[in-house]
Amino acid sequence: MKERKVFLIYNAAAGKRKVSQELEPIITALTQKGCLVTAYPVLPEKPCEEILDKAYFLYDAVVCCGGDGTLHHTVDMMLHLPSNLPIGYLPFGSTNDFAASLGLKQSIEKNCETIAKFEPRPLDIGGFNEQSFCYVAAFGMFTDVSYETPQAAKNLWGHFAYIIEGMRRLNLSQGWKAVVHVDDRVLEGEFWYGSVSNATYIGGMAVPEQNSVQMDDGLFEVMLIRKPQTLIELHRLAASLLNQKSDNDLLYLYKARKIHFAFEQATAWTLDGEAGPEVKEATISVQEKRLQFLL
């Protein structure tokens, strides 16, 4: 059996189960499968980028252990390196949308066994202006919930903490005015929410038309929710969301390769649940099969 050198990045603060409590079983499981593991904690004062930038050529793979936010930073960091190392993921976050989309919510031993097989699968990822994201870029209502919810609440309540925080922030009078180009379509108006995703779950919830999502087809799912102007429109929108069916005037569901947003005012985005940039224009494109993922 060939020994594989693995760089394990772990976020000790992620999720209700502390990663540090499971670190020994993770290293043992990977080692038993023929991996030589170097473990490195996420430290604000000493970013992992500094280490990998000097030593990426020493490793055969990078394994991320934490939540979707930790994975987002790991992938973004890896894409700036000359070598396209495969990435493994051991999910420990509060929601783990990306892991759920890929069927990774298994035991530590099973996930480590899968990683140690070293059979990478190419997946699509997204480009957002000059940045990258794994599975979702979003703006509008509720999109700041994931990074504004206190870590202590996430650790204690898990996904329920996001729901509580979302209810607290609900403001039906809000709206974001934009012109949106979705491939060859153009939409203009005031929106409550918009997302461009490559996942079957966002915020712990199943996306509409979930069965049609393919994470390596060169297409992203686009969801736009227009702000209703009357009570009748609000009821119609609620019915469309409940039934997960598009509405020609309020709920738009598309597949696309390139999406451009032009906002009236600078608008904050989230990338994989992490605080993203605040921009007046955003171009989102599919980077087809750019990510080598150990599945």
Element (H, E) at 241: helix 231-243
Per-residue pLDDT, 172: 66
Q: Report CA 185 to chain centroid distance, whole Å.
A: 25
CATH topology for 4-118?
Answer: Rossmann fold (3.40.50)
Q: Does an H or E element contain 77, and which?
A: helix 68-78
Mean pLDDT of the chain: 84
Shared fold status for 4-118 and 131-288: no
Top-confidence range, 28-32, 203-207, 249-253: 28-32
Between CA 96 and CA 248, with CA 254 as vertex, the angle to 5 degrees is: 120
Residue 47's Cβ-side half-sphere holds a number of Cα atoms within 13 Å equal to: 10
Q: What are the boundaries of each domain within the chain?
A: 4-118, 131-288
131-288, which class in CATH?
mainly beta
**Residue of 273, 293, 281 whose CA lies nearest to 14:** 273
> What is the structure's pLDDT at 125?
95
pLDDT at 268 over 50: yes
pLDDT in tens, 195-248: 999 999 887 777 888 888 999 999 999 989 898 888 888 878 777 777 777 877
pLDDT (0 to 100) of residue 151: 45
pTM of the predicted model, to two decimals?
A: 0.84
Question: pLDDT tens, 127-171?
Answer: 999 899 999 999 988 665 443 444 443 333 333 333 334 434 556
Helix axes 108-116, 19-32, angle to 10 degrees: 40
